[in-house]
Chain A
Amino acid sequence: MISTIQPSPKVTATIQTVTSSIPATPAPLPDGMSAALLEAAPDAMVCIAADGRVVLVNAQAERLFGYERAELVGQRVEMLVPDAARAVHPGHRAQYVADPRPRPMGAGMALAGRRRDASTFPAEISLSAIDTDDGIVVTAAIRDVTAQLRVKDLERTSQSLESFIYAVSHDLRAPLRALNGYSGVLLEDFGGVLGEEGRGYAERIVAVSEQMGQLLDYLLQVSRISRSELHPQQVDLGSEAARIAAEIQRRDPGRRVCFAIEKPVQAWADPGLIRTVLENLLDNAWKFTSGRDDASIEFGTAPSGDAAVCCYVRDNGAGFDPAYADKLFQPFQRLHPVRDFPGTGTGLASVRQVVELHGGHVWAEGAVGAGATFYFTLDGKDSA
């Protein structure tokens, strides 16, 4: 029985089996290397002889289970098995030894390990075996998956939250339609009876219910974007921006705005979602330059730092007070009164959501009356 991590033929063979990238008939490892490899393994490794006794563990196993090496070696491996599974474990062990192919343990079952203090943790365990001069040795690579399970839980919670948001925003539309509709009927059919003041109130109901409709649209959109899967591909953001600019100009032919658009700007992004980013930014630029005769809007690229690409949309419009720059990207936040620049205050929040979904960042620079520049970065193909 081996009780320390001294290099020996048995240990060398164990390591070679565990690290499957090593060729089938490997050259013997230099002295000490196998022990070092075992210690460097990212998972806790526990090697067990045919009788179920631990022959070898690495430092990760000591840390994970809370035992010293000397306390484990020579003991039955069942001391690392939770109480509930301890009785059946020797049977499972025997089954594995009878058909010792490398495979995950307990396919489909929730596995757990038992620490020295009797606490347990959810685990993923891979098994492999090798023949040695002293008989078969089974190696278990054990990984604590507490964090992964927590992430899964969070994802599930977040998904049900998104569905809830969707259902709520959807169901709220029906009463809203009635509110807006009946106020409209009052105005159209009973406007004379209402008198000027009464019509004014009915008009306000119409206006706020329409505003609430836009807010619900935003909620729906948030829920849609968070639930949507990214299908990134190569997109020319410059051509996309040019198309959007032409469309905006077409909708409002009376205005003269000078567009300067850099082309091509290749990026790795979901085409539909990234279009909404450009639409929102260019729509904003168009809107906030409405007070200028010499309005100009620019789309281009800036030094990207760690990101694959950094784009900006710059305008010479109303700008904003940089003290509130962080508020720009929060939903329902407006830095200008509605009567000056209409909108729901949700466009930039959507921009941020989409860009962050792509692993990028957004930020803005500007000053009151001196225009604004909105930047966003996108990661490349490998990291997106």
Chain B
Amino acid sequence: MTSRTILLVEDNPDDEALTLRAFKKSGISNEVVVMRDGAEALAYLFPDDGADVPIPALILLDLNLPKVGGLEVLRRMRSDDRTNMIPVVVLTSSKLEEDILVSYRNGANAYVRKPVKFADFTEAVKALGVFWLLLNEPAPSFGPKIEFEVGHQ
């Protein structure tokens, strides 16, 4: 089931604090789950015991992460039916063209560079929340049912 949860994958505690504050200040009250490296994020999305995990409504994914990098997390998510339609926004300091390209190539839905200016940063997080949680229509459900409907179009 799709939940209202936001999954924030971020290793920098300052960026985490500022992102959480920005959500709070923008009146976005969804639960935010924070994973501090790529391995944690994968363990959260694909638990060892095969338990069902609430599908996050939005994932904010840093690229430069300890252990397992953000791109690897993205690749793993996109190759699994349970997670391949979750909106993923890459939120990173990198403005390397190759990072942007490879993110989109691996199925990122958006790429946002963290602004240095506090006001811009807050504004960006707010805009992401509003767009992906309110305006955007998520995929209705995941799994074979979707494929069946698409096949009959």
Instruction: Give the interface of A toward B (CB within 8 A).
Output: 170, 173-178, 180-185, 206, 209-210, 213, 216, 220
- Give chain B residues whose Cβ lies under 8 Å from the Cβ of A210: 116-117
Is the pair B116, A206 in contact by a Cβ cutoff of 8 Å? no
* Contact yes or no, A181 B94, CB < 8 A: no
Cβ-defined contact, A177 with B94, below 8 A: no
Q: A183: nearest residue on chain B (CB-CB)?
A: B118
B46 at the interface (CB under 8 A from A): no
B127 within 8 A of A: no
A177–B119 touching, CB < 8 Å:
no
Pairwise interchain contact B114-A177, C-beta atoms closer than 8 A: yes
Interface size bracket, B side: 10 to 19
Chain A residue nearest in CB terms to B118: A184
- Whether B21 pairs with A173 at a CB distance below 8 angstroms is no
Other than the given A175-B14, A177-B93, A184-B118, 17 more pairs (CB < 8 A) read: A170-B94, A173-B116, A174-B14, A177-B118, A177-B121, A178-B12, A181-B14, A181-B17, A181-B18, A183-B118, A184-B122, A185-B18, A206-B118, A210-B117, A213-B116, A213-B117, A216-B116
B118 and A185 within 8 A (CB): yes
Give Cα distance in the complex from A174 to B116, angstroms. Answer: 8
What chain A residues lie within 8 Å of B17 (beta carbons)? 181
Alpha-carbon separation in the docked complex, A230 to B116 (Å): 30
Residues of A within 8 A of B114 (CB): 173, 177
Q: Chain B: which residue is nearest A216 at the CB level?
A: B116
Q: Does B15 contact A (CB under 8 A)?
A: yes
Q: How far is the CA of A213 from the CA of B115 in the complex (A)?
A: 9
Q: Could you say which of A175, A178, A182, A220 has the most chain B C-beta atoms within 10 Å of its C-beta?
A: A178
Contact B116 A209 (CB under 8 A): yes
B13-32 Cβ-contact flags toward A at 8 Å (1 or 0): 01101100100000000000
| A177 in contact with B14 given A170-B94, A184-B118, A213-B117 (CB within 8 Å) | yes
Contacts of A181 in B (CB 8 A): 14, 17-18, 118, 121
Residue of A174, A182, A209, A210 most packed against chain B (CB within 10 A): A174
Considering residues B15, B94, B116, B121, which has the most beta carbons from chain A within 10 angstroms of its beta carbon?
B116
Q: Shortest CB–CB separation between residue A262 and chain B, in angstroms?
A: 33
Inter-chain CA distance A184–B121, complex, in Å, is 11
Instruction: Tell whether, in the assembled complex, residue A178 and residue B14 are in contact, meaning their CB atoms are under 8 Å apart.
Output: yes
Q: Which among A174, A180, A220 is the interface contact of B118 at CB below 8 angstroms?
A: A180
Question: In the complex the two chains form, what is the Cα distance from A220 to B115 in whole Å?
Answer: 15
User: Do A170 and B118 touch across chains, with their CB atoms under 8 A apart?
Assistant: no
Complex Cα gap A213–B118 (Å): 11
- Tell me if A177 and B18 are in contact (CB < 8 A): yes
Query: Could you say which residues of chain B place their CB within 8 Å of the CB of A216?
Result: 116
Nearest residue, chain A, Cβ from B116:
A213
Query: How far, in angstroms, from A2 to B60 measured CA to CA in the complex?
Result: 81
Pick the residue among A175, A183, A185 that contacts B21 (CB under 8 A): A185
Residues of A within 8 A of B118 (CB): 177, 180-181, 183-185, 206
Please list 10 pairs of residues, one from A and one from B, whose beta carbons are closer than 8 Å in the complex, sorted by A's number. A170-B93, A174-B15, A174-B93, A177-B93, A177-B116, A177-B118, A181-B18, A181-B118, A181-B121, A210-B116
Q: Mark B27-52, 1 if CB is under 8 A from A, else 0.
A: 00000000000000000000000000
Q: Which of A175, A177, A183 has the largest number of chain B CB atoms within 10 A?
A: A177
Contact mask for chain B residues 82-97; partner A; CB cutoff 8 A; 1 contact, 0 none:
0000000000011100
Q: Hey, which chain A residues are within 8 Å of B14, CB to CB?
A: 174-175, 177-178, 181-182
Residues of A close to B15: CB separation below 8 A: 174, 177-178
Q: Which residues of chain A are within 8 angstroms of B122 by Cβ–Cβ distance?
A: 184
Q: Which residues of A contact B119 (CB under 8 A)?
A: 184
Could you tell me the distance in whole angstroms from the C-beta of B119 to the nearest C-beta in chain A? 7
Report B135-153 residues with CB < 8 Å from chain A CB. Answer: none
> Roughly how many angstroms separate A220 CA and B122 CA in the complex, as a whole number?
23
For A176, give the chain B residue with the smallest CB separation.
Answer: B116
B117 / chain A contacts, CB cutoff of 8 Å:
180, 210, 213
CB distance from A173 to the nearest CB of B (A): 5
B88 smallest CB distance to A (angstroms): 21
Q: How far is the CB of A326 from chain B (nearest CB, A)?
A: 31
What CA separation (Å) do A181 and B15 show in the bound complex? 9
User: Top 5 nearest A-B pairs by Cβ distance?
Assistant: A184-B118, A178-B14, A213-B116, A181-B18, A181-B118
Measured in the bound complex, the distance between the Cα atoms of B95 and A206 in whole Å is: 22
In the assembled complex, the CB of B114 is this many whole angstroms from the nearest CB of chain A, namely 6
Query: Which single residue of chain A is at the shortest CB-CB distance from B97?
Result: A224
Give the residue name and chain of the B residue nearest to A189 (CB): B21
- Closest chain-A Cβ to B19's Cβ sits at a distance in Å of 10
Is A220 touching B116 in the complex (CB atoms < 8 A)?
no
Could you tell me the distance between the alpha carbons of A175 and B13 in the complex, rounded to whole angstroms?
10
> Known: A178-B15, A213-B116. Is A173-B93 also a contact (CB below 8 A)?
yes
Distance between Cα atoms of A14 and B95 in the complex (Å):
58
